[in-house]
Structure formats: C-alpha cells, structure tokens
Chain A
Amino acid sequence: MKMCITAKGDTPDAQVEERFGRAPFFLFHDSEQDTYTAETNAFADAAGGVGPRSAQVLIDHGATVLVTGQLGGNARRAIEGAGIEVYQATAGSTVREAVAAYRENQLNRIL
C-alpha cells in the first residue's frame, strides 16, 4: 500500500505540512518495503489550480491514502473521485510519526 504525507522537508523526519496543494514536498511511504520516496511539489508556488494538480501527482504515484492538514474544495473533489482515503495529520508531528500513528489507527479520517 502506498501512502502520501504532505511534508515541510524531504526526509521522514521532516514535519508534516498542514496545507495540501501548497505543501513543499510529498513523501510517499511504501508499506510493504517500509521505504520513503520524496517528491518536490512543483506546484507549491503556482498561481492557481494547485489542488487538482497535486491530487494528480498522488494519483500518478498510485497512492491510496493521504495524510495532510487541510484540503481545498477542488482538491477534495479530485481526491474523492480517485478513491483516496484522507486522514488528518497531527500538527507538529513528523512524517515518520504520522505513518506510525496511521498504523495504530490513531488518525481521524476526514475523507
């Protein structure tokens, strides 16, 4: 299973980023191999349409779970349409902690 966590940095020890479309990095966690891959969000500073475009990145990576802070309306539509589950990140936690919290069923599902 592939999971995406929006992050402020490109390592598993970076803090989780609250904003989805404007997150500087997307970290993808592969649960089978327990590996992380970081992807720079090319749209973090784009003028508009960042929500759907970021959603497209997740879809292209085959992520089925997203952990983030907040989702805009358009991003929500795209994420929902792709059948990706969304969980609320705990503010201030790291990517690694967010993955652990997800495994222990401690995160609230928001979509």
Chain B
Amino acid sequence: MKIVVASGKGGTGKSTFSANFAWSISRSRDVVLVDCDVEEPNLHLFFPGDTSESEVTVLNPAFDMERCDLCGKCGDFCRYGAIAVLPKQILFFKDLCHACGGCRIICPNEAISETERVIGKVWDAPVDEHLRLISGVLNEGEPNGIPVIKAAKEAAEGNDLVIYDSSPGTACPVIETIEGSDYVVLVTESTPFGLHDLRLAAEVVRKLGIPAGVVINRSDGEDDETEAFCRKAGLPIQMKIPFDREIARLQSRGDLFSVAMPEWQDEFVNLLDDICTRTGGAQ
C-alpha cells in the first residue's frame, strides 16, 4: 500500500501529519516514511538519529571539442535550451539540462559523451525497529528535483506500507510523487485559503485517477464550506485534528503530539484501516 500525503499549499501542517501518522501506525506494523519534499525536507527533524547517505546523480553531456565541428545539431535538438553552439565554442547550461541523453545520440561526430553530476542525496534512517525514514534532499541551486524524488521512491520499493510526504503545491514534483500510489490524503485547513488550495489539489488527484480523502488540520469546528466542497467532490473527510493548545504546544517544541497524547495513535490506526477499506481492503 502506497499512501501519499499532499496539500495544495505549504503551511497546512502536512509534514506534522505525516510524521504523526507514520509513527502511530508503526507501533503495530512496519512502515517506511518517505520525505519527497526534496527542496525542503524536514521530517528528519522529528526523528533524529543515525542516517546513511547515498548520492543522486544525473547524466550530463560532455563535449569533445577535438571531434566537434560546431554543426549545431545538438543545440537545435535540445528543447530545453541547454546547449548553445557559438561560432567557436559550445556553451552548456547545466541548470537547463534535463538529462534526456538525446544530444549524444543526435551528434553526427560522436563528440558527446555522458558524465555524471551529483544533484542531491537520499538519506536512509532506521528510526526504530518498525519505522524507517527515507529523505530525498536536492542540493541547493539545483533546479530539477524529480530525479531525487525518483531515487527516494526507489529506495522505499519492496515494502508493504509506504507513506510519501509530497512537496506542497500541485507542480511536477507533486505529480511525480503521486504517480503509482494507491491513495492520496489531502491535508487542508478550514480557512478560505485552505479551501482554495484544496480545490486545486483535489483536481490534480482526480485527473490522475487516484482515490483520495481529506484531513482537516487545525480545525476550528467551523468547516462547513470545506465539508460542502468535499461532499460535492466525493471526497470523504477522514479525520479532523482540532485547533488545540496542547497540540500546538507540543508541536512548537518539535514533538510528535501522538507520542504525548496516545489516544491519537488509535485515531491514526483507524485512519489507515479506513483507507484500506476504501481501496478494496488490500494492505
């Protein structure tokens, strides 16, 4: 079972939800939690401890100017504008290259080879016997996080229950994270902004054709509009986390509220059961 936790925008408490959800259900079964918010991974802050690290690389072209006759074919081919063929030299723009490998194939003079470039890393942390945290980390200044998300997802392959914390928003990284998953939990807040972003996220999930449910975080009890939207969109509201002083206090210290408030552990386990029922019982 692959569950993605997503939200239309940042600041809905998505990461906190993911961390509490994964930790709570890992009290009774094995869980892998994957931080796919590669530009700003933060789940490791909840689970300090030993980590092993592996590099994520992409293949970039390297030009052999002895062989190159500046014919310009590679520059014409690259739809990302990563190569400019000048009268006397070639310029390569690494931050525009999507590592498709096409220029190497197109070059008539075999002047292009591929060279590895490190763009990020994957941290693998055994939090405890039943919970493992994998974090994708994109190096600063790198424009394209997709390969790092792919590497983090790959590291979690082969496990029964994986929870992916996606980056906020509805852009490519979110779609990359959601693709291939069984269920999406949309975390929202009961504010007009929250609803607006929820709409966008719900639309993306609908287009991808993956079943989804909603968790309302920091609920003030006045969720009528959000509820009305969810009814219309056919999205079940599966959990409400109230706006609560004690929860806020624990979170401001960086603690998991479900550790100090064990009644929440059952709530999270129930949520998983509910998700399993909705996806046809497969666990």
Contacts and interface: CB of A to CB of B under 8 A. Distances in A.
Interface in B46-93: 72, 75-76, 78-87, 89, 91, 93
A59 B85 contact: yes
Contacts, number: 54
A60 B78 CA distance: 16
Nearest to B89: A81
Nearest to A53: B81
The prevalent SS among residues of A at the interface is helix
Given A49-B93, A56-B75, A82 B86 contact: yes
A49 B242 CA distance: 46
Interface string A31-54: 000000000000100101111110
Contacts of B87: 59, 82-83
B74 to A, nearest CB: 11
Interface residues of A, number: 18
Contacts of A59: 84-87
Contact of A56 (B79, B85, B89, B95): B85
Nearest to B76: A56
Contacts of A60: 72
B107 interface: no
B96 A55 contact: no
Contacts of B93: 49, 52, 74, 77
Nearest to B143: A48
Interface in A48-70: 48-53, 55-56, 59-60
Interface of B: 72, 75-76, 78-87, 89, 91, 93, 95-96
